[in-house]
Amino acid sequence: MIRAALSIWILFAVVCLGRGHHLGDQSHEDGHDHHHHNESDHSTSTLELVSSANTDFAMRLYKKLAAQKDLQGKNIFFSPISVTLALAALSVGARGDTHQQIFTGLGFNSSLLTQVDVDKAFQTLLTGFNGTSQEDLRAGTALFVEETFRPRAKYMEVVKQEYLADVFTVDLSNTAESVSTINKYVAEKTNGKIEKLVEDLDPATLMYLVSYMYFKGTWELPFDPMDTKEDVFNVDEQTQVPVQMMNMEESVNTYYDKESSTSVLQLQYNGSSSMLLVLPDKGLAELEEVIGQKHVNKWLKWMRQKQTNISIPKFSIKMSHSLNNVLSEMGMQEMFSGISANLSGISDFRLEVSKVVHQATLDVDEAGASAAAATGIELNYRSVHKIPVLKFNRPFIVLITDSNNGNIFFMGKIVNPNI
């Protein structure tokens, strides 16, 4: 039987709002009502289970990335929900051990969740993301299918209906034209932030599965550009770099986690999303070893408003991660194997996954952002007359979360805002 490669390209873009032009109508034209007011108890509990698994996966993926030798001392930024989205869409066509590895790797408990449960949960999440009004937020998938390749009708039906997939038939043997087609689609979905996802094509590729997430939010409490001053960011004990530091004194949500000696700041966007800036007292290494879903849940639960003087650097970064090795380490190795990969739910062809690539851009400024940076801390609770100070002038962790269901849209760490 013919062996072919199924390439999965996972991408997302995060941008700030403030000085850019407004995006047009971004609703997904799938012809379905996006508002399900009468969800059953089962579907609600299913959504909670999937969202909880998504958060747990985000933490495990972050720790795996942070432990990679080639990423030591470097910025990390990614969209866990985008990675999960692509792999969940792939799992629709996986069978046997390959399916079990993807399901388990994503944190889905097969005794509590069926594939149909997961599919329906993602449809609910995606329609919610794309139906938001106060933020520019959109997510979805796309399939670019070789014109001579015929995937199973059932697989195509599920990914189009439940994963809001756009489907395109392309001549993948015409490398230049296909690359241009995919990159044009990606650029459009990310408002030009990711212009060249695909460099070239493997001649054996029969299908590209793309997932994307785009977020553009304004701060509920914007920073005043007049208060932005040049300052320094302490990359490590020996290295300082200059940054433009945004400053504000406002009543904001903060929490100090004594167990992990970590300060957490929550900045709300206009809408249902917020950014968590996580600043450990003694560097990131110890926190990275233990950070998990329970920490985020605790931080969000115990956040309290307090008048605080906050300082956050403004910056722009662009990142690209290859996830093949990381996902294999997380137990999803079989889908990459030409010998044992079982993706027979997609086609009779002997398919394997050749690449999982993730790209991200992030801009943070006074008007808004999609993920912020945080570092450096001074907290003073000794006197009621003194205002606590949170100064993010050294490496920190950042998360952008959905307040409605707790899903983590974006996560990463900023080690050097100038890279």
**26 backbone dihedrals φ, ψ, rounded to 5°:** -115, 15
Q: CA-to-CA distance for 153 and 281, rounded, in angstroms? A: 54
The pair of three-digit structure tokens given for residue 178, joined into one six-digit string: 């296909």
Answer whether CATH 2.30.39.10 is correct for domain 225-313+368-414.
yes
At a CB cut-off of 8 Å and minimum separation 6, what does 40 contact?
Answer: none
The CATH number of 3-217+317-363 is 3.30.497.10
Q: CA-to-CA distance for 182 and 197, rounded, in angstroms? A: 8
pLDDT at 10: 57
pLDDT at 356: 84
pLDDT at 58: 94
Query: Would the CA dihedral through 407, 214, 365, 361 be positive or negative?
Result: positive
pLDDT at 364: 76
pLDDT at 82: 87
Q: CA-to-CA distance for 379 and 334, rounded, in angstroms? A: 48
Name residue 225's amino acid.
Answer: P
Judge whether 3-217+317-363 and 225-313+368-414 match in fold: no
Count of alpha carbons within 13 angstroms of residue 72, beta-carbon side: 4
pLDDT at 395: 94
SS3 label, residue 160? helix
Q: Could you list the pLDDT tens digit for every one of the 419 residues in the chain?
A: 444 566 655 555 544 333 222 333 333 333 344 444 444 566 678 999 999 999 999 999 999 999 998 888 899 988 898 899 999 999 999 999 999 999 999 999 888 999 999 999 999 999 988 876 656 788 889 998 889 889 999 999 999 999 999 999 988 778 788 889 988 988 888 888 878 777 777 777 788 888 888 888 888 999 999 999 999 999 998 999 999 999 999 999 999 999 999 999 999 988 888 889 999 998 898 899 889 989 999 999 999 999 999 999 987 777 888 888 999 999 999 998 878 889 999 988 888 888 888 887 778 778 754 432 221 211 222 223 467 889 999 999 999 888 777 889 889 999 999 87
Which sequence spans correspond to the domains of the chain? 3-217+317-363, 225-313+368-414
The pair of three-digit structure tokens given for residue 225, joined into one six-digit string: 């550009």
Q: What is the CA radius of gyration of the chain?
A: 21
